[in-house]
Amino acid sequence: MLNLKPIIRFLLRRPSALRSPAARWAVLALAATGAAFLVWSAVIHLELWGDGYSDISVIGPLFLAQGIGCIVLGVAIVAFRSLALLAAGAVAGAATAVGLLLTVHVGLFGYTESLSVPYATLSLAVEFTAAFLLLLATALLALSAPARAEVRPTPVPSYG
């Protein structure tokens, strides 16, 4: 039978679990900066949604969902800083950028975009930056040495 406890414990790992103070601070800085870029991407999408993208079938609701979802995710990353949230943020940033590139080069849900529209290149830069920073934070948190478990001395029985 598969023991899920170690997997869940690993996914919930936070910077405080790391042995190195430098690694802890690096993860915190990368996570906060990556989360800020994720929120910036969300604000761009909400702005565009309000500027008329809300009228585009499928794409409009996706812009709204991305905007709300990435704000919630960015706040959760800063608040909880778990490995799973950092990885989810990296995926969200990359997926949003890839979605734009697909819309430009192939079309998505019957809609084709251009990189010459307002915010397109800025959006790509912001989303790939968020993904990169959060991926670095994820890798650092996943691969850094954990703090040593506190070793409690075994009580010695007294005879007497």
The string of pLDDT tens digits covering residues 64-74 is 999 999 999 99
DSSP state of 54: G
Q: At residue 150, does pLDDT exceed 60? A: no
Cβ atoms < 10 Å from Cβ of 17: 18
Q: At residue 129, does pLDDT exceed 60? A: yes
Bridge partners (DSSP) listed for residue 146: 18
How far apart are the C-alpha atoms of 41 and 133, rounded to whole Å?
A: 14
DSSP-derived 3-state class of residue 18: strand
pLDDT number for residue 148: 73
% of the chain surpassing 90 pLDDT: 88
DSSP string, 76-133: HHHHH--HHHHHHHHHHHHHHHHHHHHHHHT-BTTB---TTSTTHHHHHHHHHHHHHH
pTM flag (> 0.85) = yes
% of the chain surpassing 70 pLDDT: 95
Banded pLDDT at 22 (limits 50, 70, 90): very high
